């Protein structure tokens, strides 16, 4: 009887952040729950930093089977977990939680999200280049750089306004990472077939990322992880040069797959319908 009651209980996950009202994760997971006809729920949990430890202490008790973690908790949540994956350990940040044998575990799926988006938008990219230029050295850059190194890139040049943050990534990930000042960009672009923007430049409300793409060789790929707007000035400039432009929305969509599968038992597809659903929301909220 008890088992039966358990199976009838709604499987519930949430996004933990502060604030969380702008998160698109509920829309995304809600789409999949509906598409697969699952009796689950995905909620927003707005938790102030000072309340995080107590919220997590009562997490299972609130009926949650797991969830996502966003700003500003991605690092601090690690102290509340029983285990983290090697990737999350390397990142020093967690974005996905689930229970395994009663233990609360954490992973960082931004890495697989970034790689899956590139694989989809620029199939075979990793066979075409051994070096990459990454703009920016914040939290998102950490996942991008780690993913690129995992895919065997020989050199990942990190170019950032504040050189120290680029250098911190070199220290974290080792000698295949080259920290470079902004002035080095033209020369570095001439030697790569993949440019990834992880800065917030080009995001709605921010100045555009104004760089000259001319030095990039023909056949190069430009990936912006900014997805609001979907078509950033950087991607427009890349297309104008005849380069392959990959937008950042797929990273958001693909990073959500492992969590949904762990919580609800179905590996969801990143379909055209899902993408259209999220694009409609982006357009509605950023006309």
Per CB under 6 A, residues contacting ligand ATR are 136-141, 160-162, 165, 198-201
Minimum CB distance to ligand ATR, residue 140 (Å): 3
Nearer to ligand ATR, 201 or 253 (CB): 201
Nearer to ligand ATR, 141 or 243 (CB): 141
Task: Tell me whether residue 95 is annotated as binding.
Answer: yes
Catalytic: which of 62, 74, 142, 193? 74
Nearer to ligand ATR, 17 or 268 (CB): 17
Q: Provide the CB-side half-sphere exposure for 203 (13 A, CA).
A: 10
Backbone angles phi, psi at 217, to 5 degrees: -70, 160
Minimum CB distance to ligand ATR, residue 248 (Å): 11
The alpha carbon of 203 is separated from its chain's Cα centroid by a whole number of angstroms, namely 15
Is 142 annotated in the active site?
Answer: no
Return the residue nearest ligand ATR (CB atom).
Answer: 138
249 vs 227: CA distance, rounded Å: 5
Nearer to ligand ATR, 30 or 139 (CB): 139
Minimum CB distance to ligand ATR, residue 17 (Å): 13
150 touches 126 (CB < 8 A): no
Minimum CB distance to ligand ATR, residue 202 (Å): 10
Task: Tell me whether residue 79 is annotated as binding.
Answer: no
Nearer to ligand ATR, 12 or 165 (CB): 165
Minimum CB distance to ligand ATR, residue 161 (Å): 3
Task: Tell me whether residue 25 is annotated as binding.
Answer: yes
Q: Provide the CB-side half-sphere exposure for 211 (13 A, CA).
A: 30
144 vs 149: CA distance, rounded Å: 9
Return binding residues for shikimate: 23-25, 70, 95, 110, 227, 255
Which residues are marked as active site? 74
Return binding residues for NADP(+): 86, 136-140, 225, 248
Return binding residues: 23-25, 70, 86, 95, 110, 136-140, 225, 227, 248, 255
């Amino acid at each position: 009887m008890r088992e039966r009651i358990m199976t009838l209980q709604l499987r519930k996950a949430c996004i933990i952040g502060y604030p969380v009202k702008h998160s698109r994760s509920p829309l995304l997971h809600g789409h999949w729950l509906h598409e697969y006809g699952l009796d689950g729920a995905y909620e927003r949990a707005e938790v102030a930093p000072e309340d995080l430890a107590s919220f997590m202490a009562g997490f299972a008790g609130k009926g949650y089977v797991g969830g996502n973690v966003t700003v500003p908790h991605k690092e601090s949540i690690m102290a509340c977990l029983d285990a983290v994956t090697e990737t999350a350990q390397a990142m020093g940040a967690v974005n996905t939680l689930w229970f395994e044998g009663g233990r609360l575990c954490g992973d960082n799926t931004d890495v697989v999200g970034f790689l899956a988006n590139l694989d989809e938008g620029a199939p075979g990219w990793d066979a075409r280049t051994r070096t990459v230029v990454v703009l920016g050295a914040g939290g998102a850059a950490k996942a991008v750089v780690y993913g690129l190194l995992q895919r065997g890139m020989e050199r990942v040049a990190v170019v950032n306004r504040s050189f120290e943050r680029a250098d911190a990534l070199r220290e974290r990930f080792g000698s295949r990472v080259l920290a470079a000042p902004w002035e080095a960009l033209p020369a570095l672009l001439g030697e790569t077939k993949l440019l990834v923007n992880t800065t917030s430049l080009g995001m709605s409300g921010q100045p555009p990322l104004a760089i000259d793409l001319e030095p990039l060789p023909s056949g190069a790929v430009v990936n912006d992880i900014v997805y609001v707007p979907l078509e950033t000035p950087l991607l427009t400039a890349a297309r104008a040069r005849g380069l392959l432009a990959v937008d950042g929305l797929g990273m958001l969509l693909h990073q959500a797959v492992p969590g949904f599968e762990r919580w609800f038992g179905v590996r969801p597809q990143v379909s055209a319908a899902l993408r259209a659903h999220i694009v409609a929301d982006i357009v509605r909220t950023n006309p």
